[in-house]
Chain A
């Protein structure tokens, strides 16, 4: 698939000397929902801000649909919509006026029918004549999304779109995102809700300390790194792991009423068969058995944990 955003060797060094981005290379396929994951301060927002023209890069190039974001900024930027992390809106403008303003700012002639559609999709139509200062936080977030969609962008950046948003609104936002993708819009989002990336994204990029740690299709990532946990519920509690089971990596859980076996489902030999044989010889009686795929969150914590401490030390 052709990439709609193509980032090469992108560097950002702030005046303070802080290196926020360290030679990022990234390609985002056209039409994907791409989730950028990473801890606070990893450089996600800096990366987005460079692509959108809010922060100057120190080195490297970015192209949006083949347009260089510096030399051909008009073409590049008119394809991009941005919803920043902070809730920043005017106070005295009406919803309708501010969304129409954004459309004009991005060089598009008036199109009330499109604005109406965007406002209706985001359940803002009833509020169109309200002043922005009278809206709740969730409503303002929607207004910012409406502003970003006002000029019919091909690429939409959502920087932490669901931070501080209630469940209902979050669901309706994801519906909008899904329908945008059906219309061929590429969506790049950052989120702290890993379950969201897990549900929504086609592809996941992990950023840590200014570097791309990994980019992978979501299901491949989950399969590749997917640990599984097998929980054996016992009839009678055990105080320690019986000698007959010493060969297996087991943990005791649930006050001795459970044994937890961690394995990788992709391994040739998972060790489950021998575990069950040994269970039998240990004389343990099972009440229930349960397996669980490790979540993206666990994968993510694993990825970010190890290199962080070292690279921050190098920085300092």
Chain B
């Protein structure tokens, strides 16, 4: 194991966060607070409770998941896309470092950032609503698994993308709609029956449901199904990453 290399890349990536602190941390916190104000106050005044939880508190896990997913993807995809774009990737390719080590360092750093951000948003939401966390350990497990899985996904996008447009298109056109339609701001019980079934095809539903369960003990789907689904996404992402490195796809000619 080239520990020094992992440490070097991890530190490099974390240093980037400190340099761009405002963009990395402050702006997601501000936009999440806006969601609270808009959804919590405007809609919350009409919907008082969902499954015995006040609407404001109900959307907290969904909001954290939303940020966790989008930030994991953008952190990890930028981290690997940028060296490709400016050409400094040569150093990574010529270094005595294995593919596993590259993934651990980049995905580890991206997941650390977004998990920290998720916790900051959780902290922020204590100012707005009453929150209780029924299963703190499970909450952290969901947080960590989601951060890692979506950072891997972002890493894949960053390698696949050969221009800035591609870098943005997957988060914008696929991830954001799936998140908004994934029960972030509502319970899927509130949908017409046909849409309840269709919604189950949306992977984000399982993440939000499981995460919300760890707060309030209420869930749209069984929590073990949620965990299982995260496991499946994680495995798929790992397989794709393994293939990318084996074939040198978009990295080596």
> Which listed residue (B9, B88, B253) contacts A55, Cβ 8 A?
B253
In the assembled complex, B163 has its CB within 8 A of some CB on chain A? no
Nearest B residue to A56 via CB reads: B252
User: Which of the candidate stretches A21-29, A77-85, A264-272 sits at the interface with the other chain?
Assistant: A77-85
Binds A, one of B56-64, B94-102, B174-182: B94-102
Is residue A201 within 8 Å, beta carbon to beta carbon, of the partner chain? no
Sample of 18 more A-B contacts, CB < 8 Å, known A105-B97, A107-B96 = A54-B252, A56-B248, A56-B252, A75-B96, A76-B96, A77-B94, A88-B88, A89-B88, A90-B86, A97-B12, A100-B8, A104-B8, A105-B5, A105-B9, A105-B91, A106-B5, A106-B95, A108-B4
Whole-angstrom distance from the CB of A44 to the nearest CB of chain B?
16
Q: Of B8, B15, B248, which is in contact with the most chain A CB atoms at under 10 Å from its CB?
A: B8
Interface centre among B4, B90, B94 (most CB of A within 10 A): B94
Contact with A147, one of B7, B91, B93, B248 (Cβ below 8 angstroms)? B91
Which residues in A have their C-beta under 8 angstroms from that of B12?
93, 97, 101
Q: Mark B78-90, 1 if CB is under 8 A from A, else 0.
A: 0000000011101
| Cβ–Cβ contact B15 & A97, under 8 A | yes
A105 and B88 contact, Cβ closer than 8 Å, known pairs A55-B253, A56-B252: no
Contacts of A53 in B (CB 8 A): 93-94
Q: Which 6 A-B pairs have the closest CB atoms?
A: A104-B8, A88-B87, A77-B96, A74-B96, A52-B94, A78-B96
Residues of chain A within 8 A (CB-CB) of B253 are: 14-15, 55-56
Q: Which residues of B pack against A, CB within 8 Å?
A: 2, 4-5, 7-9, 11-12, 15-16, 19, 86-88, 90-98, 248, 252-253
Q: What residues of chain A lie closer than 8 Å to B88, measured between beta carbons?
A: 88-90
A: contact size bracket: 35 or more
Find chain A residues with CB under 8 A from B15 CB. 93, 97
Name the residue of chain A whose CB is nearest to the CB of B88: A88
Asked whether A105 lies within 8 Å of B90 as measured between CB atoms, the reply is no
Contact of B90 among A77, A88, A92, A103 (CB under 8 A): A88
Least distance between A67 CB and chain B CB atoms (Å): 10
Flag A62-77 by CB within 8 Å of B: 1 or 0 each: 0000000000011111
- CB-nearest residue of chain A relative to B85? A88
Interface check A109, CB cutoff 8 A: yes
Q: A73-B96, A84-B90, A147-B91 are in contact. Are A109 and B4 (CB under 8 A)?
A: yes
Complex contact B94–A54 (CB within 8 A): yes
Q: Which of A74, A80, A108 contacts B94 (CB 8 A)?
A: A80
B95 contacts A92, C-beta separation under 8 Å: no
Is there a chain B Cβ closer than 8 Å to A102's Cβ? yes
CB of A38, distance to nearest CB on chain B (Å): 20
Q: List 8 A-B contacts (CB under 8 A).
A: A14-B253, A54-B252, A75-B96, A77-B94, A77-B95, A101-B8, A107-B95, A107-B96
Query: Which of chain A's residues have a CB closer than 8 A to the CB of B93?
Result: 52-54
Q: Which residue of chain A has its CB nearest to the CB of B86?
A: A88
